[in-house]
């Protein structure tokens, strides 16, 4: 390909867009300038939405957008617009809905053809450059679309207008309103149980994605009912994932999903938002089961994030790690040939690790059959029996050899880490790390707490303002926040307040939720839109959209209910609980049929119905009896549980009314724990075992008062 000047993406803040700056296409970023040019030149828009971590996005880049003849076709007949879906989730969500309605499939790369006003009339996902396997190639599609735009303009406009109207109705959930019924959770649990893969864990068949909100909903329901099949469902899924190739057995952390139903062969990219929510799943699973596999997976996520996906010096969490180093590999960084394994280890170690990780001459990867995905095929006891060794000896070999393999892997070219920091994903990790601090305890927990608070401070400093709430990006050019950013940000601030009792965090959380109610709430229909009412025009498919489904981020409207209910528990202000109920009603007509795919709604419904549990532990700092009570509280998973450690002289102004009345005369006494829900507090206890029993069984009784 002959040299040509860089296109206008060279100055983009997005690494994904910058990676296309060498392409011979006259790319635009999303914005009014592109739409104005399309109108002025009367050309259709070619919209490409992708991400830096997306393998097939790089494939279509290489095959088509770097191809001079295809690029010439695009430049002649279209205005080309490239979008980073991580940077512009608002643009992505609308066109995903529209293109899915046209083609029956969504995902990335998303390829859309739009009228000059931005309304889509045709599209799909990845297109090969030339005709193949009975499917038209991208070159043929470009020519056909250009011809249709010239010759069948009226038909395209009719189709585009009717599609835009359908998307607007669907995305606003205008017909979904109904009375709120807590029984929706029963329907969602039934949906989750029905989809459960009893053999392999997880839900449905391949490909298999983690469903983190569904896991938490099942675990919370188990705590309420003690139905053993629910615990088996959750524990089986978490263990199978942790032992599978979808988990990075050497460095920790989870890949995005598994292409098979056994969790063995993953799509190798690692996403911030998956790992924060999976960290919480594994912490909750550990709290309930005490299964060491679950704790180890949680600690592995933290180890990997600390090493790869975070700015340890300044605070903050990065966006993602790519799957591949080049397009010619498919997870080669993470996979092993038998020769590679033997080169890194002694003969004895190699024998053990080949059995442990099922590494053979012929592996699982199609592009290179010698490459093996590492998964735990045999544990130390089984290998010891096979080799006639002691189990402790094999365990020692596994630990040492895993360290050697990781060291050898670190010598390989490393997949790209997108160091962009997005507010919502950072907020989710702040919350997860603060939860890890409570559940894991010890030095590891203290490190999680310190880094979470350092990151919260950075988010407040660089991405929050009194007037606009949260921006979408931490640092870099300003980018307006979304509902996701406001709600996850407010939840992280509430978590930081509970960890520190620093009123700054509480005030910022309350201001953020007030801002969301002012600028994002639908005062007439209930619920929240994803963009602020005073946000600049989106251009194109500018529909009012209420995010509801978990895909893959937890549904922002359901998270908003959780945030409002938690804030109401502190302030007693009825407006928060009232709008939480209105938001639940907004989606009540469809929540049951979404089932597992709106499990965050089930969590919100559960918390709204049962009231958040607030647990206060009193006693002087460093008091052993108080620490034992705190350990008992932190050892139990309950949805929405707040844990507040009050020492003599602590400020009480942000505590719920029932607690404010109860506490003053107790603070001077011996260490005690008080469990409250709604306006009811149970009698204080100084016995850790009694406290644990109260936490596992009390809230239903407490919440009925």
Indicate the pLDDT class of residue 2, thresholds 50, 70 and 90. Answer: very low
pLDDT above 90 (res 222): yes
- Regarding whether 139 and 274 lie in a shared domain, the answer is no
- Regarding whether 232 and 107 lie in a shared domain, the answer is no
- Regarding whether 157 and 208 lie in a shared domain, the answer is no
- Regarding whether 373 and 238 lie in a shared domain, the answer is yes
Put residue 134 in one of left, alpha, beta given phi > 0 → left and psi -120 to 50 → alpha.
left
- Distance, in Å, from the CA atom of 621 to the CA atom of 253, rounded to the nearest integer, reads 35
| Helix pair angle (212-225, 272-289), 10° resolution | 20
- Regarding whether 138 and 97 lie in a shared domain, the answer is yes
pLDDT above 90 (res 671): yes
Q: Is residue 433 domain-resident?
A: no
Q: Dihedrals φ, ψ of 549, to 5°?
A: -70, 150
Q: Dihedrals φ, ψ of 627, to 5°?
A: -65, -35
pLDDT at 518: 98
Q: What is the mean pLDDT of residues 41-65?
A: 96
pLDDT at 700: 38
Q: Is residue 581 domain-resident?
A: no
More confident site: 485 or 703? 485
Closest CA to 621 of 650, 643, 642: 650
Count, residues in the chain: 705
Indicate the pLDDT class of residue 650, thresholds 50, 70 and 90. Answer: confident
- Regarding whether 400 and 260 lie in a shared domain, the answer is yes
Provide CB contacts within 8 A for 425, sequence distance 6+. Answer: 272, 273, 276, 317, 319
- Regarding whether 293 and 395 lie in a shared domain, the answer is yes
**What domain count does the chain have?**
3
- Distance, in Å, from the CA atom of 688 to the CA atom of 251, rounded to the nearest integer, reads 36
Q: What is the pLDDT of residues 330-343, one digit of tens each?
A: 899 999 999 999 99
- Regarding whether 280 and 151 lie in a shared domain, the answer is no
- Regarding whether 127 and 223 lie in a shared domain, the answer is no
Indicate the pLDDT class of residue 658, thresholds 50, 70 and 90. Answer: low
245, 265 contact by CB (below 8 A)? yes
Provide CB contacts within 8 A for 191, sequence distance 6+. Answer: 595, 596
Q: Is residue 401 domain-resident?
A: yes
- Distance, in Å, from the CA atom of 691 to the CA atom of 80, rounded to the nearest integer, reads 62
237, 254 contact by CB (below 8 A)? no
pLDDT at 1: 41
Closest CA to 545 of 91, 122, 52: 91
The domain boundary, picked from 398, 416, 434, lies at 416
Structural domain that includes position 117: 8-171
* Average pLDDT along the chain: 94
Indicate the pLDDT class of residue 329, thresholds 50, 70 and 90. Answer: confident
Provide CB contacts within 8 A for 148, sequence distance 6+. Answer: 155, 156
- Regarding whether 261 and 128 lie in a shared domain, the answer is no
Indicate the pLDDT class of residue 6, thresholds 50, 70 and 90. Answer: confident
pTM of the model: 0.96
Q: What is the pLDDT of residues 98-155, one digit of tens each?
A: 999 999 989 999 999 999 999 999 999 999 999 987 778 999 999 999 999 999 999 9
The domain boundary, picked from 360, 387, 416, lies at 416
pLDDT at 249: 98
pLDDT at 705: 28
Put residue 482 in one of left, alpha, beta given phi > 0 → left and psi -120 to 50 → alpha.
beta
Tokens representing residue 548 in the block: 């509801």
- Distance, in Å, from the CA atom of 40 to the CA atom of 34, rounded to the nearest integer, reads 10
- Regarding whether 138 and 247 lie in a shared domain, the answer is no
């Amino acid at each position: 390909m002959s040299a040509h000047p860089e296109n206008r993406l060279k100055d983009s803040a997005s690494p994904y867009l910058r990676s296309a700056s060498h392409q011979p296409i006259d790319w635009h970023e999303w914005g009014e300038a592109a739409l104005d040019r399309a109108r002025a030149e009367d050309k259709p828009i070619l919209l490409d939405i992708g991400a830096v971590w997306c393998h097939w996005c790089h494939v279509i880049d290489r095959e088509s957008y770097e191809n001079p003849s295809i690029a010439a076709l695009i430049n002649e007949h279209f205005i080309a617009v490239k979008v980073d879906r991580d940077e512009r989730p608002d643009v992505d969500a609308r066109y995903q809905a529209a293109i899915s309605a046209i083609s029956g499939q969504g995902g990335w790369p998303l390829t859309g053809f739009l009228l000059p006003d931005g309304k889509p009339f045709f599209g799909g996902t990845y297109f090969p450059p030339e005709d193949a396997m009975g499917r038209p190639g991208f070159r043929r599609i470009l020519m056909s679309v250009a011809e249709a735009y010239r010759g069948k303009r009226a038909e395209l406009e009719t189709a585009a207008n009717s599609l835009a109207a359908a998307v607007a109705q669907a995305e606003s959930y205008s017909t979904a309103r109904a009375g709120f019924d807590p029984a929706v959770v029963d329907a969602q649990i039934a949906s989750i149980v029905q989809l459960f893969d009893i053999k392999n864990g997880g839900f449905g068949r391949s490909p298999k994605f983690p469903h983190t909100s569904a896991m938490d909903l099942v675990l919370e329901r188990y705590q309420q009912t003690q139905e053993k099949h629910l615990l088996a469902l959750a524990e089986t899924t978490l263990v199978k994932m942790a032992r599978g190739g979808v988990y990075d057995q050497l460095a920790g952390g989870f890949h995005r999903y598994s292409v098979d139903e056994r969790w063995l062969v993953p799509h190798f990219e690692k996403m911030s938002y998956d790992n924060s929510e999976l960290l919480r799943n594994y912490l909750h699973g550990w709290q309930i089961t005490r299964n060491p596999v679950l704790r180890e997976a949680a600690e592995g996520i933290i180890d990997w994030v600390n090493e790869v996906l975070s700015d340890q010096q300044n605070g903050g969490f990065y966006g993602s790690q790519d799957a591949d180093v080049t397009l010619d590999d498919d997870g080669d960084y993470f996979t092993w040939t038998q020769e590679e394994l033997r080169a890194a280890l002694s003969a004895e170690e190699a024998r053990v690790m080949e059995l442990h990780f099922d590494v053979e001459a012929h592996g699982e990867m199609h592009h290179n059959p010698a490459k093996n995905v590492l998964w735990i095929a045999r544990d130390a006891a089984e290998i010891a029996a096979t080799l006639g060794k002691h189990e402790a000896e094999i365990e020692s070999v596994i630990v040492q050899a895993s360290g050697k393999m990781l060291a050898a892997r670190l010598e390989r070219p490393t997949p790209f880490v997108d160091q962009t920091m997005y507010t919502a994903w950072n907020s989710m990790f702040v919350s997860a790390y603060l939860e890890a601090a409570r559940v894991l305890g010890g030095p590891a927990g203290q490190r999680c707490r310190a880094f979470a608070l350092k990151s919260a401070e950075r988010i407040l400093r660089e991405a929050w303002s009194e007037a606009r709430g949260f921006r979408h990006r931490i640092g870099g050019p300003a980018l307006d926040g979304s509902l996701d950013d406001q709600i996850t940000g407010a939840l992280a601030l509430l978590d930081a307040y509970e960890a520190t009792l620093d009123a700054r965090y509480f005030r910022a959380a309350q201001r953020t939720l007030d801002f969301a109610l002012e600028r994002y709430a639908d005062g007439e229909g209930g619920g929240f839109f994803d963009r602020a009412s005073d946000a600049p025009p989106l251009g194109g498919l500018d529909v009012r959209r209420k995010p509801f489904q978990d895909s893959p981020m937890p549904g922002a409207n359901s998270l908003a209910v959780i945030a409002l209910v938690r804030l109401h528990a502190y302030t007693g202000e009825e407006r928060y609980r009232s709008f939480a109920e209105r938001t639940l009603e907004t989606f009540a007509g469809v929540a049951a049929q979404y089932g597992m795919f709106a499990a965050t709604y089930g969590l919100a419904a559960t918390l709204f119905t049962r009231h958040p549990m607030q647990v206060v532990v009193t006693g002087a700092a460093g008091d052993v009896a108080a620490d034992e009570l705190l350990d008992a509280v932190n050892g139990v998973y309950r949805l929405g549980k707040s844990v507040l450690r009050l020492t003599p002289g602590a400020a009480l102004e942000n505590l719920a009314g029932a607690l404010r009345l109860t506490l003053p005369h107790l603070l001077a006494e011996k260490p005690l724990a008080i469990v409250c829900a709604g306006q009811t507090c149970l009698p204080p206890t100084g016995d850790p075992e009694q406290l644990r029993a109260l936490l596992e069984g009390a809230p239903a009784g407490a919440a009925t008062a």
